[in-house]
Amino acid sequence: MGEGNGDWLRVRGIGRERFAGHLAEYLTTLGYAVERSESTDPAESRVAGRLTRMNPAVPPSGQALEFRFYPTSGGAALVWVAPAEVPEPERSRMDRLAREVRAHLERVVHSESHATAKVMPPPEPRLPWVPTAKAPPSQN
């Protein structure tokens, strides 16, 4: 995996399993039933959550979430897999949920590692429902 492959967040200073664990714990607090899986070929962790407890902050398109984590040099990358599409009326609520998840991960990683680890966006962070802005091909 490399740059431009759909990474939403990256972390330096902790591994993918620990990073996945932080997300799984947070989703549980939001009311999701969480399933985690690990694989070695390819090396990745997956976290899937299904909302089981009413949470008015979560739009209908956010009832089921899925994430994939893979190792990077010195840390891990997080790809937001599902939902891949969000209806326009729900987009602001999903964007807010994504911001809250990111803020939580930043706080927990920072405090757990005593500021030695850091969550940061990759050069081109991507959420699946946000269209990527590609430069149009030059016409000579």
CATH number, residue 75: 3.30.310
Confidence of residue 136 (pLDDT cuts 50, 70, 90): very low
- The verdict on residue 45 lying in a domain is yes
% of residues, the chain, pLDDT over 90: 17
Are 132 and 28 in contact by the 8 Å Cβ rule? The answer is no
DSSP 93-128: HHHHHHHHHHHHHHHHHHHHTTTSSEEE--SS---T
More confident: 136 or 25: 25
Range of the domain at 83: 7-120
- The verdict on residue 132 lying in a domain is no
- The verdict on residue 96 lying in a domain is yes
DSSP classification of residue 61: G
- The verdict on residue 140 lying in a domain is no
Average pLDDT, the chain: 82
- The verdict on residue 128 lying in a domain is no
Look at the alpha carbons of 100, 80, 53, 86 in this order and tell me if their dihedral is positive or negative.
positive
Number of domains in the chain: 1
Distance of CA 2 to the CA centre of its chain: 16
- The verdict on residue 12 lying in a domain is yes
- The verdict on residue 126 lying in a domain is no
